[in-house]
């Protein structure tokens, strides 16, 4: 049994490091496009995003892809910034603690991969067909 006394949950930099480690394991055909996506960590999703997604409980959103999927990009697009995979630290830590059966790095890797799938143009339904993570 792990002695949790004196241990602290990873900070934003720690979660970002886990996300970057997950990116390093991507197959070559995805890695090139994924390197253009920024990774950002926030404590929770902003209220306007939660409202837009009709999410009442901020602990329900662990990650979010913010950008234009590569399948929809055009040379006429004028991006205002890089595509971003957002990780929401507190919901991620809450899910990790409540699961109790998966390493935090694996959970972070799953969320990053899920959000990158949106970058590649996959819908939640497409992802769910091959990734039944929640089961």
Kindly report, residue by residue over 20-56, the tens digit of the pLDDT: 998 888 777 777 777 888 999 999 999 999 999 999 9
CA 26 to chain centre: 14
- pLDDT score for 99: 87
pTM greater than 0.85 (yes/no): no
Q: What is the mean pLDDT of residues 59-82?
A: 81
**Structure confidence at residue 4 (pLDDT):** 52
To the nearest 10°, report the CA torsion of 27, 32, 35, 36. Answer: -140
Q: Which residues sit opposite 41 in a β-bridge?
A: 87
For 71-127, the pLDDT digits (tens) are: 777 767 666 778 899 999 999 999 999 988 888 998 998 899 888 888 877 777 777
Q: Which band of pLDDT confidence, cut at 50, 70 and 90, is reported for residue 1? A: very low
All structural domains of the chain: 12-69+82-130 (3.30.2010.20)
Catalogue the E-assigned strands of the chain.
38-42, 63-66, 84-88
């Amino acid at each position: 049994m792990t002695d949790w006394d004196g241990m602290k949950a990873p900070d934003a930099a720690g979660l970002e490091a886990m996300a970057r480690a997950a990116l390093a394991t991507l197959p070559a055909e995805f890695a090139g496009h994924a390197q253009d996506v920024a990774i950002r960590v926030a404590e929770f999703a902003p209220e306007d995003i939660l409202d837009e997604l009709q999410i009442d409980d901020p602990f329900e959103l662990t990650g979010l892809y913010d950008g234009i999927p590569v399948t929809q990009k055009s040379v006429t697009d004028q991006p205002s910034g890089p595509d971003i995979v957002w990780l929401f630290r507190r919901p991620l830590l809450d899910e990790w603690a409540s699961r109790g059966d998966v390493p935090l790095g694996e959970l972070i890797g799953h969320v990053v991969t899920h959000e990158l799938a949106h970058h590649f143009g996959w819908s939640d339904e497409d992802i769910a067909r091959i990734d039944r993570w929640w089961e």
